[in-house]
């Protein structure tokens, strides 16, 4: 157990708990704290930093939710040691339930009545506005891309230029354009459920690894791109632990591979702040895709260092021009 080498800036914006969780996260990423290291109790850490215990508890709770830390009953809090085999639960026989089935299918989206007037006003302004002359930007409306860039900075920790944002008609459409710049026959690890989708958008992907859960990735040799959903694995909803995120980025950096991060359901957090995006840990490696009303914005697509692809991804506009023939053939979403 050790008292952490952490200092807090009480004049900085944001909560002290958020600042403390960020400092501890940086220590793990830098290797100062390694897997299995025991952390001080929230009471001891708070006393050492001169803050209330609730500040330390808030930081620990956030890092526990993100998978950076783990608790052991009666032993304290530790840096997460991931990769352990799941514990098999004993089977239990249950009698069939003969009650009528209550359908819980999603219906229409709920809108806060307090915002109804604002929505009506926005619809009126759009319906009466003069449509733009000529073709729209195939990457999406500039105003929309600027708003997406601002939201990514505020909610996902990503500092991107609006020119690094491309609006597409859904995840599959975004992947189709993104994978079009990779060499034919590019290889990548995949989950079984994603095989058909990858073959649909590329058709020349060869299987290299069998990674059923993509939990721990340490070797991406020969891989050009890896597609992951670290914020919410479907269908179990598992969050990729912090140490596994670092291992994935390290492996991608060593192989010169592109990491396509599908930010699926990252905003659905009720007890703690949303888990930061992979791209916030490595601004040069991942390409982040996030949904907005079933429309995807693909942002921050850098050129993989040492990549074998001859097409730079520094500016999405460059690769977008290679995957669309005329502005009229491009598909974009509108607010």
Alpha helices by DSSP H, listed for the chain, are: 16-30, 42-49, 53-66, 116-128, 142-155, 171-179, 195-201, 242-255, 316-323
Give the DSSP letter of residue 234.
T
What pTM was computed for the model?
A: 0.57
Among 61-70, 114-123, 232-241, the minimum mean pLDDT is found in 232-241
Query: Tell me: the pLDDT tens digits for 294-324?
Result: 444 454 454 444 443 333 343 445 444 444 4
Strand 225-228, strand 258-262: pairing = parallel
Q: Residue 110, Cα to own-chain centre: how many angstroms?
A: 25
Among 136-150, 159-173, 174-188, the minimum mean pLDDT is found in 174-188
CA distances from 188 to 174, 259, 286, 290 (A): 17, 10, 15, 21
Give the span between the Cα atoms of 130 and 9, in whole angstroms.
49
- CATH no. of 142-329: 3.40.640.10
Give the span between the Cα atoms of 291 and 140, in whole angstroms.
14
What pLDDT is recorded for position 95?
59
pLDDT tier, 54 (very low <50, low <70, confident <90, very high otherwise) = very high
Contacts of 274 (CB under 8 A, 6+ apart): 155, 156, 231, 266, 267
Give the span between the Cα atoms of 277 and 82, in whole angstroms.
19
Structurally, at CATH architecture level, domain 16-79 sits in Orthogonal Bundle (1.10)
Residue extent(s) of CATH 3.40.640.10 domains in the chain: 142-329
């Amino acid at each position: 157990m050790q008292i952490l080498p952490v200092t807090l800036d009480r004049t900085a914006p944001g909560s002290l708990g958020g600042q403390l969780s960020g400092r501890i996260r940086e220590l793990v990423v830098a290797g100062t704290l390694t897997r299995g290291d025991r952390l001080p109790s929230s009471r001891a850490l708070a006393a050492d930093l001169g803050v209330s215990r609730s500040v330390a508890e808030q930081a620990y709770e956030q890092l526990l939710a993100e998978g950076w830390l783990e608790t052991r009953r009666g032993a304290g809090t530790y840096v997460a040691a991931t990769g352990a085999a799941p514990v098999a639960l004993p089977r239990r026989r249950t009698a069939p339930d003969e009650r009528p089935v209550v359908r819980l299918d999603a219906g229409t989206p709920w809108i806060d009545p307090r915002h109804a007037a604002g929505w009506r006003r926005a619809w009126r302004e759009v319906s009466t506005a003069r449509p733009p002359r000529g073709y729209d930007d195939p990457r999406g409306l500039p105003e929309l891309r600027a708003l997406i860039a601002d939201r990514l900075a505020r909610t996902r920790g990503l500092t991107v230029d609006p020119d690094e944002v491309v609006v597409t008609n859904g995840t599959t459409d975004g992947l189709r354009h993104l994978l079009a710049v990779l060499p034919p026959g590019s290889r990548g690890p995949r989950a079984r459920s994603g095989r058909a989708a990858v073959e649909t958008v590329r058709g020349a992907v060869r299987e290299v690894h069998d990674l059923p859960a993509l939990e721990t990735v340490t070797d991406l040799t020969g891989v050009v791109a890896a597609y992951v959903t670290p914020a919410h694995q479907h269908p179990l909803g598992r969050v990729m632990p912090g140490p596994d995120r670092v291992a994935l980025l390290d492996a991608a950096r060593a192989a010169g591979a592109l990491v396509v991060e599908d930010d699926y359901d990252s905003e659905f957090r009720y007890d703690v702040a949303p888990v930061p995006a992979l791209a916030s840990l490595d601004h040069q490696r991942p390409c982040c895709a996030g949904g907005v009303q079933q429309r995807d914005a693909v942002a921050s697509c850098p050129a993989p260092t040492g990549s074998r692809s001859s097409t730079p991804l520094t500016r999405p506009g460059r690769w977008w021009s290679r995957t669309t023939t005329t502005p009229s053939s491009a598909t974009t979403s509108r607010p």
